[in-house]
């Protein structure tokens, strides 16, 4: 009986994942989006993307919750400010409109089954 229960739970709880690539548009020096030099410091001439695997039924807010940006003092940036505003903006294009937190991932355009987003942090 436990065997059947575990199979049922697997199919009930399993959600197909989608790949989300996050990059930034350029003028914000967000260390997580740059390759590291031999001494561990970021090389601002060599960019990279942040890749997340998230369930297809999730929203932009769920993506923001998965993003980890470390400040210079060692603390991590929260995805929301205390007054309820978003601390991270995500867009489909560098200068495109900011995606709302409630936007479902399944409606965003995909390239080779990958959603590509751009990050911008207000006041960074």
Between CA 105 and CA 1 the distance in angstroms is 36
Is residue 98 classed exposed, middle or buried when 0-12, 13-18 and 19+ CB atoms within 10 A define those classes?
A: middle
What structural domains does the chain harbor?
16-120 (3.10.20.90)
C-alpha separations of 28 from 14, 25, 118 in Å: 37, 8, 12
pLDDT, one tens digit for every residue, the chain (124 residues): 566 666 655 555 667 899 999 998 777 888 888 899 989 888 888 888 999 999 989 999 999 999 998 887 888 888 777 677 788 999 999 989 999 999 999 999 888 889 999 999 887 7
Sheet order of strands, 89-91 included: 50-55, 17-24, 114-120, 89-91
- The pLDDT value given to residue 28: 82
pTM of the model: 0.80
Pairing type for strands 42-47 and 34-36 reads antiparallel
CB-based contact 5:101 (threshold 8 Å): no
Q: Looking at the chain, which runs of residues are DSSP E strands?
A: 17-24, 34-36, 42-47, 50-55, 89-91, 114-120
């Amino acid at each position: 009986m436990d065997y059947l229960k575990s199979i049922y739970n697997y199919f009930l709880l399993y959600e197909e994942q989608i790949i989300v690539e996050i990059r930034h548009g350029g003028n914000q020096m967000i260390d997580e989006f740059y390759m590291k030099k031999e001494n561990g410091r970021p090389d601002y001439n060599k960019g990279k993307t942040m890749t997340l695997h998230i369930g297809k039924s999730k929203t932009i807010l769920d993506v923001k919750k998965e993003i980890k940006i470390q400040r210079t003092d060692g603390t991590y940036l929260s995805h929301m400010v205390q007054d309820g505003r978003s601390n991270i903006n995500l867009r489909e294009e560098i200068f495109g409109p900011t995606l709302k937190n409630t936007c479902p991932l399944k409606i965003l355009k995909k390239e080779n089954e990958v959603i590509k987003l751009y990050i911008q942090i207000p006041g960074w």
